[in-house]
Amino acid sequence: MPSIGVVVLTQGTRPVELAAALASIHRQRGVTTRTAVVGNGWMPEGLPPGVTGVGLPENLGIPAGRNRGADAVAGEFVFFLDDDAELGSDTFLAEAVERIREDPSIGLLQPRLSPRSGEPAPSRWIPRIRKGEATTSGRVMSCLEAAVLLPRPVFDRAGGWAEPFFYAHEGIELAWRVWDQGLVAWYDGNLVAHHPVVQPTRHASYYRMNARNRVWLAKRNLPAVLVPLYVASWTGIQLLRWWRTPAVLRPWFAGWAEGWREAPGGRRPLRWRTVARMAAAGRPPVI
């Protein structure tokens, strides 16, 4: 059976949801799992037997927390699950592994996310420009980080999640670095995980981090000539979206300036061959 290292990141504020997430992992058939629960700023306690607790003395951010969890688990694959998400079936992981084994070009797989409440899923949960139907599978250039499966060597070669980002856009960088390995990131509309509908703007720093990390994403990953083109396109998009709400644009441009002023490190520009593959797939990395 395939072995999967599972990482669940939590700040300890959702014990009921965390228990449900772990139960959905424990029910998986056809795979062996080793699960680590990472406490971002606390030491997880009262975990089910066989689940490893990884306590971080302070909140290092979402990407760094996930990376510490990945360091604590072994397996042929690594799977990341939010503490308020659940797997949609008892064969979810086995089916996800089978998808990758059937098509070895898949280096990252994100399932379709569906709210248990029955309310409509936000369109942002489909990582495509042209959203289409949620059940339509295909290649994507980003992923929603709530439920993501990768072969462990692919994750390691990608360098893990982008720790300097703290949160926001780390799923884009990881997908890009999968593409740069000659593989693809894949959205599977037939595999389902459940997640509550929450607004990203609930974080007070959302707009600043959104803009800063857009700039850092380009500075870390794009050939130098494409960096200003990518940032300019997203700047134009945000102006079109929010020009009527200056209260939003002020923190956004503060983060934009911070992104140019500060260096995130970890620069690994995509190969031009990767840029060409992404453009041929309908998403050149200037959009």
Instruction: Tell me the pLDDT tens digit for each residue of 92-131.
Output: 999 999 999 999 999 999 999 999 888 889 999 999 988 9
Angle at 242 between CA 240 and CA 243, to 5 degrees: 70
Which CATH class name applies to 3-198?
alpha beta
The average pLDDT across 188-193 equals 97
Of 213, 232, 230, nearest to 283 by C-alpha is 230
Q: Strand 77-82 relative to strand 3-10: parallel, antiparallel, unpaired?
A: parallel
Q: Is the dihedral of CA 216, 271, 65, 202 positive or negative?
A: positive
- Per-residue pLDDT reduced to its tens digit, 121-158: 999 999 998 899 999 999 999 999 999 999 999 999 99
Q: Is the pLDDT of residue 280 over 90?
A: yes
**Whole-angstrom distance, CA of residue 9 vs CA of residue 40:** 7
The average pLDDT across 223-234 equals 97
pLDDT at 179: 98
Helices 206-221 & 246-261, crossing angle to 10 degrees?
30
Torsion on CA atoms 25, 27, 33, 38, rounded to nearest 10: 30
Q: Is the pLDDT of residue 200 over 80?
A: no
